Structure 1
Amino acid sequence: MSSTPKPGRVVAVTGACTFLGTALLRRLEEDARISRVLALDVREPPVRGTKIEFVRLDLTQPTVDGELATLLQRHQVDTFVHGAFLSHPTHAAEWAHELEDVGTMHVLNACAGVEPRRFVMISTTLVYGAHAKNPNFLTEEADLRGHRDSRFVNDKVRAERQVQRFAKEHPSVEVCILRFAPIIGPTVSNMYTRFFTRPVAPVMMGHDPLMQFVHEQDAAFALQKAVESKATGAFNIVGKGVLPYTTVLALLGRVPVPMPQIVARQLSKVLWATQLVGSPPSFLDFLLYLCVADGAKAKRELGFSARLSIKRTILDFLGVAPEDGATDVARAQA
């Protein structure tokens, strides 16, 4: 008598239209261990597949937790990936708060009643904040200090703290939080990629902090690993190596403009208020101080190690072919 094969896993993904959400959908569609994928977002993602089912879901709506709980029960979801977070700041701060902070509350309310086997949250190393007394490498045990003037960062801090409380209150759920270093690459769009596409960049006089990125494909691979794994807790997802900010600008071919902090902050306030730039004044602190994370725990417990170096990541963002990379790197470091 032949045995009946076990049904595959059912995964729900919020933020299905984000870069990481879409990348994960593509990978899950090709994964034989996955039987169905619920793509949850306010608009349909640009991914089609026999396993993928799009469900329109708005996390800013006050009754969405009940709607989501019904979906999870109906489809017997065993893995929930929460990625409905903005990749760049917005002037619509109240809406962003409803989406990220309050939206996370709705998600956790729904999951509390259903208790999926696994819950994966997409976060960022920005939650540590850029501060003068930061160590060279921040471990996952470091305080989530955020930034007192950045709602873009602080909404993510509050959302992550909610997930941490959920993990304590629901020990039967495998909760995994991925704190991604800024993601760059040829197709991703976020605050950092927009900043680095400008021809000139401010440099705070007397400051040249180390910077850290992760390539978009390494980031997608890490997220897939987190879905597959049983590892729990928070993990820093970072690329190989770090570089000084001015070296990053040299690799990118951007013109550094040295200026005093007070001038840079006043100029940034005007440009942000008039919507001429996509990064608020609080972003300048990341050009002043370290915000570099230690990826050892992810390598040890999650089995993730970035494949691409920071130099290769930057050059790929530029669209430079590998055979041209050595020349460009040497020129930037000269």
Structure 2
Amino acid sequence: MTQSSKPALLVTGAAGALAQQVIQRLRKDYQVVAVDFRQEVWLGPDIPSYRIDLSKRGFEDLFRRFQFQGVIHLGRIMSSQETRLRRYNANVLGTDRLLSLSDQYGVSRVIVLSTYHVYGANPYNPALIDESYPLKSAGLTMDLVDSVELENLATIYLWRNPNLNVTLLRPCNIVGPGVRNTMSSLLSARYAPTMAGFSPMMQFIHSDDMANAIETAFRQRIPGIFNVAPHDWVSYRQALEECGCRPVPIPSVPPVLPRTMLRALKLRRFPSYLMDFFKYPVIIDGRNFSTRFGFEPERSLDSIFRYYRELRYQS
């Protein structure tokens, strides 16, 4: 068992910029233990860090040693990373083991980070999507099946194991310094593809605000499922232009054509399985989280886009 007098907290996905911001916010009050399947991360002598697969035997040893009181699961492999099988094993089987061990070893607070992508993008989505809307992405693309199954697992534990106090967060596009997802790559590019004839409305949340949302959710024991998003949005094309990026229109039909053109233009930042998200708006309603947790993002769209403009000038 750890010798620290602070309660122990496990944070997965510690190599990511968002996880490191969360760790910095909580390290004063908690004995944080950082875990990532990609690499061991140095965050200071006071934070034990491990490179470990959640499905490996050594992962359970951490629960025995540290007796975690809380778990913040930010280690979801994004759909742009790894193969489908590798993502499924990590996101679904790994998360199942994490939640099972949390229940077995008496963890009393769990945060699970999901994504708004689970709702799916189609022309029949309502103007504002709340947490009761069905998760349709698994029926639209196989590349998001693991994300939906991760959510289903977390929801099962939420209702079946109330002692875990599970809070599941579905954020909109997370962007900002150090963020390496698809949207951040697009906003920071010199040229970015758009689907010709489409410019859906999109939401963006700065990584600082998202870290604040995760910290706020963790400190307040309110289990449930919550969208996390600001109350404003902007068209995708306008977002690119505000960031100083030049849009490159790509024909959307036939379906094989945009993939072929993207390969020819070497625009790999625009994965084919997300094409519908660049055609149809998916605007999530974050009012429930805002009301229940007293949360409001501090970073405006202007400040988000200014960061990417300045980043381009520095390069």
Query: Normalized against structure 1, the TM-score is what?
Result: 0.84
How far has the Cα of 1:291 moved from its partner?
Answer: 1.0
CA contact (8 A) 2:71 2:111 kept: yes
CA contact (8 A) 1:235 1:297 kept: yes
CA contact (8 A) 1:181 1:214 kept: yes
Which residue of structure 2 lines up, in the alignment, with residue 23 of structure 1?
A: 21
**Of 198, 223, 227, which residue of structure 1 is paired with 2:218?**
227
CA contact (8 A) 1:238 1:293 kept: yes
Q: Does the alignment pair 1:192 with 2:201?
A: no
Which residue of structure 1 lines up, in the alignment, with residue 76 of structure 2?
A: 85
1:40 aligned partner, one-letter code: V
- Aligned in 2, Cα 1:205/1:228: closer, same or farther, shift over 3 Å? same
C-alpha RMSD of the superposition? 2.5
- Aligned in 2, Cα 1:88/1:48: closer, same or farther, shift over 3 Å? farther
Over residues 292-319 of structure 1, what are the superposed CA-to-partner deviations in whole Å (9 max), with x where a residue is unaligned? 1111111111222111122321222333
Over residues 259-299 of structure 1, what are the superposed CA-to-partner deviations in whole Å (9 max), with x where a residue is unaligned? 43115752325646998503321211111111111111111
Q: Does the alignment pair 1:75 with 2:66?
A: yes
Over residues 126-184 of structure 1, what are the superposed CA-to-partner deviations in whole Å (9 max), with x where a residue is unaligned? 11111111112211111111254544432111111101001122112200011121111
**Of 257, 274, 287, which residue of structure 2 is paired with 1:266?**
257
CA contact (8 A) 2:103 2:161 kept: yes
Which residue of structure 2 lines up, in the alignment, with residue 112 of structure 1?
A: 103
CA contact (8 A) 1:215 1:239 kept: no
255-264 or 7-16, which deviates more:
255-264
Which residue of structure 2 lines up, in the alignment, with residue 9 of structure 1?
A: 7
Structure 2 unpaired stretches of 5+? none
Which residue of structure 1 lines up, in the alignment, with residue 35 of structure 2?
A: 40
Counterpart Cα distance in 2 of 1:185 and 1:233: 27
Counterpart Cα distance in 2 of 1:244 and 1:141: 25
CA contact (8 A) 1:180 1:238 kept: yes
CA contact (8 A) 2:79 2:144 kept: no
Q: Does the alignment pair 1:210 with 2:209?
A: no
Counterpart Cα distance in 1 of 2:273 and 2:138: 7
2:19 aligned partner, one-letter code: G
Counterpart Cα distance in 1 of 2:128 and 2:199: 16
2:215 aligned partner, one-letter code: Q
Counterpart Cα distance in 2 of 1:261 and 1:275: 17
Which residue of structure 2 lines up, in the alignment, with residue 332 of structure 1?
A: none
- Aligned in 2, Cα 1:227/1:132: closer, same or farther, shift over 3 Å? same
Counterpart Cα distance in 1 of 2:163 and 2:82: 39
CA contact (8 A) 1:186 1:318 kept: no
How far has the Cα of 1:117 moved from its partner?
Answer: 0.5
User: Superposed, which structure 2 residues align to 1:234-313 within 5 Å?
Assistant: 234-262=225-253, 265-269=256-260, 271=262, 277-313=268-304
Counterpart Cα distance in 2 of 1:278 and 1:147: 22
1:47 aligned partner, one-letter code: L
Counterpart Cα distance in 2 of 1:292 and 1:147: 18
Query: Normalized against structure 2, the TM-score is what?
Result: 0.89
How far has the Cα of 1:41 moved from its partner?
Answer: 1.7
CA contact (8 A) 1:15 1:85 kept: yes
Which residue of structure 2 lines up, in the alignment, with residue 53 of structure 1?
A: 48
How far has the Cα of 1:58 moved from its partner?
Answer: 0.9
How far has the Cα of 1:196 moved from its partner?
Answer: 2.6
264-273 or 171-180, which deviates more:
264-273
Over residues 205-239 of structure 1, what are the superposed CA-to-partner deviations in whole Å (9 max), with x where a residue is unaligned? 43221011100110111111122111111111213
Percent identical pairs in the alignment equals 26
Larger Rg, first or second structure (1 or 2): 1
How far has the Cα of 1:16 moved from its partner?
Answer: 1.2
CA contact (8 A) 2:34 2:50 kept: yes
Q: Does the alignment pair 1:317 with 2:308?
A: yes
- Aligned in 2, Cα 1:91/1:280: closer, same or farther, shift over 3 Å? farther
CA contact (8 A) 1:78 1:116 kept: yes
How far has the Cα of 1:125 moved from its partner?
Answer: 1.0
Counterpart Cα distance in 2 of 1:292 and 1:299: 15
Structure 1 unpaired stretches of 5+? 1-5, 321-334
Q: Number of residues paired by the alignment? A: 308
SS of the counterpart of 1:179? strand
SS of the counterpart of 2:114? strand
CA contact (8 A) 1:125 1:293 kept: yes
